[in-house]
Amino acid sequence: MANSIPVRCRRDVLANEGVEKIRYAALEILELTGVAVRSEKGRRLLRDAGCAVDEKSAVVKFPPNLVEEMARKNDRAVVFYGRTRKHDARLDFEHVHVCSDGNGTEAMDFEARKRGPSRKSDVARSAFVADALKGHGINWPNVTSQDVPQGTRHIHDLQATLENTEKHITLATDTTAWEVQDVVELASAAVGGKEELRKRPIISSIHTSFTPLQIEGEGLDAGFVAADAGLPICFYVMPGPGSTGPATLAGSVALAVAEALAGNTLFQLNSPGTAFVFSCGIAPMDMKTSTRAGGSPEHGLTSAAFSQMAHYFGFPSLVGGFVTTSKEPDEQAAYEKFSSAVTPILAGADMIAGIGLLEDCRTIWLEQLVIDSEMSRIIGRMAQGIEVNDDTLALDVIEKVGIGKDYLGQRHTMEHFRTEHFIPIVTDRSSYDTWKAKGSKTMLDRAGDEVRRIFKEHTVEPVRSEVAETAAKLVKKRS
């Protein structure tokens, strides 16, 4: 699969005993504490399935056998289809697909170096740059179009992204039923109709719980519309250890798993066989600043643990990673993004969202997209491990070269160095004198040069003309 990371060197963070304990804890939470489900349709589905429903409080108690039965109904063959087939992403538990993180509200102007509210042009430019990156597989629009009316942003966001990437698009701005209807119509225009979209859904829809243990009605009903149209559902849960979740990581992961299982139960009752993706961003509260510690090592650990639990129950996962609270592409951004990404990648999370944004997923820097893509490829090389076989042991080549010679001219070297060695794009490995002679460029400078090269050389296959026509019609309808 294009732009994916095969994980041969898997590193789980939970022992088997830990997995079982979190499983039982999540089921106990659902059975004894329950979840407030603020959708009349959702409560009706659950009541008819045998759940205890308190209409006054909207709290639903979930029998464990129902939860596990609905987990088995999830579509296990989830594919996030690209607009072009070369970008199809199969969520097979064996590959990691790095995803841009979405719905930031600020953008750093690439040329003017001014930070301000994100615009539709920022949605388009970030999608175009991400489309060119080898370390990026799925597009969650990095920012949203704040230069258009609120009621039409979902239309503009999807249009700008469709026109600038061939990769799968996952959306979080379709939070009401009518917004979902709009994005379904617009995506259908891109593929030739609603039935074609059902066969090859090139978009997926993100819906959320309201931690702790609440599912709001409007968002859930919107998700039902998306699932009925055949879109994969990413159900995103975000308990914050120490704030909206227990301070202990195990407790917050158990809470997150409970909320995700409740979400899946609802979606499978509504539309059996819905492609459901366990999704989370579990970052603790920084007790010094009372802010979310998005780039913490705990974020990476909980993402890995949640993904491991998702796979245990048979679900693909979308988790947070490559996250930083830094305000610019600096040393803090580098180590926070690495520490929050390396653990879930090595754990085999199916999708990891976060590249491109700073300030805990608030501000897009195009250079950061490039840097994060390079970082994902580095960690990806680590995840592949070392393959040992007769060819890679190279005994015949060692014997041929003998003592005191080099391997530069050997066919074996030419055949293997591109797959065995990480080949950087913006990392500088030259000598000091060479680096200085070329202008002493920083990583940010080199990433900026790569962004300029992408704008100059990269191309995206045009979308159908019906996309612009449909977007204009929908905007007029919602204005």
CA–CA distance, 351 with 169 (Å, rounded to integer) = 13
Q: What six digits make up the tokens of 61?
A: 């108690």
Confidence of residue 1 (pLDDT cuts 50, 70, 90): low
- State residue 39's pLDDT score: 97
Per-residue confidence (pLDDT) for residue 434, from 0 to 100: 96
Q: What is the DSSP string of 229-251?
A: TT--EEEEE---BTTTB-SSHHH
**Cis ω on the peptide bond leading into residue 212 (within 30° of 0)?**
yes
Instruction: Say if residue 151 is in the same domain as residue 212.
Output: yes
Please state, in angstroms and rounded to a whole number, the distance separating the CA atoms of residues 447 and 425: 9
List beta partners, residue 204.
Answer: 170
Pairing verdict, β 233-237 and 59-61: unpaired
Residue 416 and residue 338 share a domain: no
Question: Which amino acid makes up residue 371?
Answer: I
- pLDDT class for 2, splitting at 50, 70, 90? confident
Say which residues have a Cβ less than 8 Å from residue 416's Cβ, sequence separation at least 6: 392
What pLDDT is stored for residue 23 in this prediction?
A: 98
Tell me: do 217 and 317 sit in the same domain.
yes
- Over residues 451-475, the mean pLDDT reads 97
Instruction: Give the pLDDT score at 77.
Output: 83
Lowest mean pLDDT among 22-36, 113-127, 278-292, 440-454: 278-292
Residue 193 is assigned to a structural domain of this protein: yes
Same domain flag for 401 and 376: no
- 360 and 416 fall within a common domain: no
How big is the CA angle at 351 (ends 348 and 357), to the nearest 5 degrees?
125
- Please report, for residues 147, 154, 177, 204, 472, the alpha-carbon distance to residue 150 in angstroms, rounded to integers and kept in the order given: 9, 8, 15, 21, 15
Residue at 139 is within a domain:
yes
DSSP labels, 159-211: HHHHTT-SSEEEES---SHHHHHHHHHHHHHHHTSHHHHHHS--EEEEEE--S
Residue type, 252: S
pLDDT at 415: 93
* Structure confidence at residue 353 as a pLDDT band (50, 70, 90): very high
Question: Measured between alpha carbons, how far is 227 from 222 in angstroms, rounded to an integer?
Answer: 9
Give kind and range of the element (H or E) at residue 352.
Answer: strand 351-355
Is 29 contained in some domain?
no
- Rounded CA separation 130/164 (Å): 9
Is the four-CA dihedral 192, 196, 198, 202 of positive or negative sign?
negative
For the chain, what percent of residues have pLDDT higher than 70?
Answer: 100
Which segments of 11-167 are extended strands (E)?
Answer: 35-38, 52-54, 59-61, 79-80, 89-90, 95-100, 106-108, 115-117, 138-139
Same domain for 407 and 258: no
The mean pLDDT value of the chain amounts to 95
In a domain, 115, yes or no: yes
| Residues 252-292 pLDDT 10s | 999 999 999 999 999 999 999 999 999 999 999 888 888 88
Lowest mean pLDDT among 15-29, 99-113, 356-370, 426-440: 99-113
Same domain? For 405 and 340 the reply is no
Co-location of 263 and 395 in the same domain? no
∠ CA 348-422-323 to the nearest 5 degrees?
50
pLDDT tens figures, 198-254? 999 999 999 999 999 999 999 999 999 999 999 999 999 999 999 999 999 999 999
pLDDT(76) > 90? no
Q: Give the β-pairing of 276-280 and 233-237.
A: parallel
Q: Given this model, what pLDDT does residue 174 score?
A: 87
Query: Per the domain annotation, does 66 fall within a domain?
Result: no
Domain presence at residue 111: yes
Angle, helices 465-478 vs 153-162, to 10°: value is 170
- Our count of domains for the chain comes to 2
Same domain, 170 and 292: yes
List the domain range (segments joined by +) for residue 307: 4-14+73-384+466-475
The answer to whether the CB of 474 falls within 8 A of the CB of 157 is no
Say if 357 falls within a structural domain: yes
Q: Are residues 346 and 409 in the same domain?
A: no
Neighbour count for residue 183 (Cβ, 10 Å): 24
Largest CA distance in the chain: 82
Orientation of helix 217-228 relative to helix 40-48, angle to 10°: 70
Is 293 part of any domain? yes
Read off φ and ψ for residue 117, nearest 5 degrees: -55, 140
What are the phi and psi torsion angles at 97 (to 5°)? -115, 115
Helices 120-132 and 443-457 pack at an angle, to 10 degrees, of 90
Helix H or strand E encompassing 14: none
**Residues forming a β-bridge with 205:** 171, 233
On whether both 248 and 329 belong to a single domain, the answer is yes
* Tokens describing residue 195: 């039935």
Helix axes 366-384, 331-346, angle to 10 degrees: 40
Identity of the residue numbered 471: A
Q: CATH number, domain at 335?
A: 3.20.20.480
Give the CB-side neighbour count of residue 105, counting CA atoms within 13 A.
3
376/397 same-domain check:
no
Q: What angle do CA 288, 375, 333 make, to 5 degrees?
A: 25
Task: Return all residues near 124 (Cβ < 8 A) that are at least 6 apart.
Answer: 160, 161, 163, 164
Give pLDDT tens digits for 39-61.
999 999 999 999 999 999 999 99
Distance CA 450, CA 290 (A): 37
